[in-house]
A and B are shown apart, each in its own frame.
Chain A
Amino acid sequence: EVVLTQSPATLSLSPGERATLSCRASQSISSYLVWYQQKPGQAPRLLINDASNRATGIPARFSGSGSGTDFTLTISTLEPEDFALYYCQQRSDWPPTFGGGTKVEIK
């Protein structure tokens, strides 16, 4: 199965700063990469599909890029509600697998 490695494990930033999260796949997954946001006690929320397509209702400050094995989620200007856990997930290979997550915390 495809292993997804997310880095860093924790990102400490202040509101208004730019966040850059990385997800690396153990083999090429083309652009079949998905990003989710999860807040404590809540289900994950779909942010980005197919590496760069924002889901319905997702603010433009969230953007995704990459293909092959290296992917990036960028939050251009952190809002207070963006401090959360972020997971990547691949849908190229069976079974779908998730990364270990990156926690974006308030510095």
Chain B
Amino acid sequence: QVQLQESGPGLVKPSQTVSLSCTVSGGSINSGNYYWTWIRQPAGKGLEWIGRISASGSTNYNFSLTSRVTISLDASKNQFSLTLSSVTAADTAVYYCARGYGHFDYWGQGTLVTVSS
């Protein structure tokens, strides 16, 4: 059974950079044709797809965030990561990692990132 678990700082100051990690268990992150995805959800609002990375390291980002987002993969740790720069209050959300290219079958529990001074 594949499981995903996000980790991150929780609180970030405006204009700073936040880095989140997603640890995958129950399977190798670089096996098969899987993609690994980040999705976020502001409190009380809907879901926004952030970007994805393939097992081989190919990335795609939402054009609304592409200038501030980097997704990377560390196969040695079976992890993939999200870096979001120049954060503002609008980036406050629960961040989920998930498996999938077009649809998402396994999700982490989510980690809350609050942007506040």
Contacts and interface: CB of A to CB of B under 8 A. Distances in A.
* Chain B associates with chain A: yes
Interface of A: 32, 34, 36, 42-46, 49, 55, 87, 89, 91, 94-101
A64 to B, nearest CB: 12
Interface residues of B, number: 18
Contact of B60 (A42, A44, A46, A94): A94
Interface SS, A side: loop
Contacts, number: 43
Contacts of B105: 46, 55
A36 to B, nearest CB: 8
B109 A43 contact: yes
B47 interface: yes
Contact of B47 (A46, A49, A89): A89
Interface stretch (B7-15, B21-29, B82-90, B96-104): B96-104
